[in-house]
Structure 1
Amino acid sequence: MNTDTNYYKNLIVWQRSMDLVEETYRLINFLPSDERFALADQMRRSAVSIVSNIAEGAGRKTQNDFIQFLSIARGSKYELETQILICVRLNYFNEEQSGLALQLCSEIGKMLNSLIKKLTVS
């Protein structure tokens, strides 16, 4: 494992996940007030979980630990993506408004899959 304490900040998947956190918080502003404490809270937690698990995994001592945390991040990515799609179906925001967040989810998912595969083979 990398011993540089800032290693995770150099990972593009972490950087893009930070972008997704920002975009998620922007989207939450479109939710009706009765969803601000339910769905909004779930979305915030899912988005923050993605980037946090990447960072925590990078800070662990073993490669297997890192893979486990990347897998948790991937699960949170699926969770957030589903919550965004729910919001679109409920007309809280449209496909144009959610486009960047869904694009980031797709991109992050591919990067997580690639990184997990690379670490698993190593």
Structure 2
Amino acid sequence: MHYSTTTLWNKAMRLAELVCRSVAGLPAEERYGMRLQLTRASVSVASNIAEGWTRESKRERRQFLSMAHGSLSELHTQLILCERVHWLPAAALLEPLRLIDEISRMLTVLRRKARER
């Protein structure tokens, strides 16, 4: 299966948009806590994909894909926690969680391919 970096980046950007909009629903006292963590992690996914693909060395590209995957896992955990403590409704997380799953699968495939080269 072949994934283009553009497709992956576009999905990551869509995820970041959804998260940035969703955090408005968090309690005001979480402005510098969970809200900031969610925003940073979501932006980091797309940013690391973009930065990795501009690097010339394969090793650096693999490193940035790995960082994107780590940020994605961090974001996933934070969103689930927000649902568990009732800061965000489950319905609002359906699309973000679907995208997280899809992006994670894409990153796994790309990271495996990068190791084979």
Following TM superposition, by how much is the alpha carbon of 1:10 offset from its aligned partner in structure 2, in angstroms?
A: 5.2
The equivalent position to 1:76 in structure 2, one of 65, 71, 86, is: 71
Amino acid at match of 1:29: A
Q: Which amino acid aligns with 1:74?
A: H
Instruction: Report the TM-score when normalising by structure 2.
Output: 0.93
Residues 1:57 and 2:52 aligned together: yes
- Give the counterpart letter for 1:27 in structure 2: S
- Corresponding position of 1:3: none
| 1:25-104 aligned within 5 A | 25-104=20-99
- Which digits, 9 at most, give the CA deviation of each residue in 1:67-89, with x for residues without a partner? 11000000000000101001000
Aligned to 2:16: 21
Aligned to 1:4: none
Taking only the aligned residue pairs, the percentage that are identical comes to 36
C-alpha distance in structure 2 between counterparts of 1:99 and 1:15, whole Å: 18
Question: What one-letter code is carried by the residue in structure 1 that aligns with 2:110?
Answer: L
Instruction: In structure 2, list runs of 5 or more residues that go unmatched.
Output: none
Q: In the alignment, what sits opposite 2:114? A: 119
Q: Normalising to structure 1: TM-score of the pair? A: 0.89
User: Number of matched residues?
Assistant: 114
Unaligned runs of 5+ in 1: 1-8
